[in-house]
Amino acid sequence: MLENLFLDLENSYQEMVEIRRYLHQYPELSYNEHNTAKYIYSYYEKLGIEVQANIGGNGVVAKIYGGKPGKTVALRADFDALPIQDEKDVPYKSKIPGVMHACGHDGHTATLLVLAKILEQNKKSLSGNFVLIHQHAEEVNPGGAKPMIEAGCLDGVEAIFGTHLWATLPTGTISYRVGPMMAAADGFDITIQGQGGHGAQPHKTKDSIVTASALVVNLQQIISRKVNPIESAVLTIGTFTSGSAPNIIADTATISGTVRTFNEQAQELIIEEMERIIKGTCYTANSSYTFNFEKGYPPVINHKEETEYLAQCASAIPGVTAIEGDPDLTGEDFSYYLQHVKGTFFFTGAQPDTDGPTYPHHHPKFDINEKAMLIAAKTLCSAAVQYTNAALKKPTLVAE
């Protein structure tokens, strides 16, 4: 059965590429993906697949019912873009100024749409049911996963599988991990209120830039001296804004950044230590402050049985190498799905075939190896089709 499904996917690969390139040219930012959602809805509608729009916002959910009894499995793809100017020199370059699919979500969407088409064409011989979740707003907290779940996208679902095309991982590789795989992604901003004045009379001021600069250094001690070195954690200052002229001592300074952790204990420790250090640094400078900490997505924690099952499915696919990867401190709101049902999230290697540099995610020249979409489709197909079939005890080895 899998051999036939894989052959159908291979024969539909060019359609995958065409969909991905179309979406790449017309990206839409988080919470504004109206045309993309319409495109996805229309694709399913033309195939006669049951589909609903406006799920938890711009989300789209389709359902395919197999001809035999079995489990219900969900597959998820996100479809929002980023506020980045596309700098690639390719025919499918973004046509929307300042907006770009710089994280592979266009590829995720193309992969799931074509896979759904193949499942629909073969549904009479398949067991169980398939829920195709097309999620909006993955890139911006609070994200699209949570409202889609609240709107019922996981109702009746027994397991969920999802993947992220990963441009820095060799194509042909599936990277999986049991337990914590991706980090909680939090954000913060701190404003220092000093007392501005003339640059030639610093003794009559409370220099907010000096205080904020000391704070940038002091905050680094949390990771190096407060967090257990066995734990993985990151505290990054991403912006520092202050001043209006070279001869004016700034009245205020603002810094912002992100914190990444894999467990709640480390997260709470960092918040507590940040508050203490900010308070102490500002007290020394006789200045006041405001501190806002926003908890973002929780960590992605994969379920053991489903992850090991996914690894076995991937290993049985010709030309695919499954490896146990390291935890990654990037964030993903797929974590919310895993809090409600069993499942796993994995990386599909999508490193471009090029002699030049491989550009990371969120880079203006980011691109993927489109062949990775076919690998992702086969892996999701194998996991979903075999998981829904309760009679199967272990994944089937696909012949070369």
What local confidence, expressed as pLDDT, does residue 394 receive? 65
- E-strand spans in 9-111? 50-55, 59-65, 68-78
3-state secondary structure of 361: coil
SS3 content of the chain, % helix, strand, coil (to 5): 35, 30, 35
Sign of CA dihedral 144, 185, 302, 311: positive
Q: Which of 184, 278, 190, 272 is nearest to 239 (CA)?
A: 190
What local confidence, expressed as pLDDT, does residue 1 receive? 83
The arrangement of strands across the sheet holding 233-242 comes to: 233-242, 252-261, 184-193, 288-297
Euclidean distance between CA atoms 83 and 117, whole angstroms:
31
Catalytic residues: 80, 138
What local confidence, expressed as pLDDT, does residue 392 receive? 55
3-state secondary structure of 389: coil
In single-letter form, the type of residue at position 343 comes to G
pLDDT in tens, the chain (400 residues): 899 999 999 999 999 999 999 999 999 999 999 999 999 999 999 999 999 999 999 999 999 999 999 999 999 999 999 999 999 999 999 999 999 999 999 999 999 999 999 999 999 999 999 999 999 999 999 999 999 999 999 999 999 999 999 999 999 999 999 999 999 999 999 999 999 999 999 999 999 999 999 999 999 999 999 999 999 999 999 999 999 999 999 999 999 999 999 999 999 999 999 999 999 999 999 999 999 999 999 999 999 999 999 999 999 999 999 999 999 999 999 999 999 999 999 999 999 998 888 999 999 999 999 999 999 999 999 999 999 986 555 666 555 4
What local confidence, expressed as pLDDT, does residue 182 receive? 98
In single-letter form, the type of residue at position 31 comes to Y
Domains of the chain: 2-182+299-388 (3.40.630.10), 184-297 (3.30.70.360)
What local confidence, expressed as pLDDT, does residue 395 receive? 66
Residue numbers in the known binding site are 103, 105, 139, 164, 362
What local confidence, expressed as pLDDT, does residue 132 receive? 98
In single-letter form, the type of residue at position 245 comes to A
Euclidean distance between CA atoms 253 and 136, whole angstroms:
34
Residue numbers in the known binding site for Mn(2+) are 103, 105, 139, 164, 362
Q: Which of 313, 319, 342, 303 is nearest to 154 (CA)?
A: 342
Q: Which two tokens stand for residue 32?
A: 């504004």
Euclidean distance between CA atoms 359 and 368, whole angstroms:
9
Q: Which two tokens stand for residue 317?
A: 């696919």
Indicate the helix (H) or strand (E) that contains 267. helix 264-284
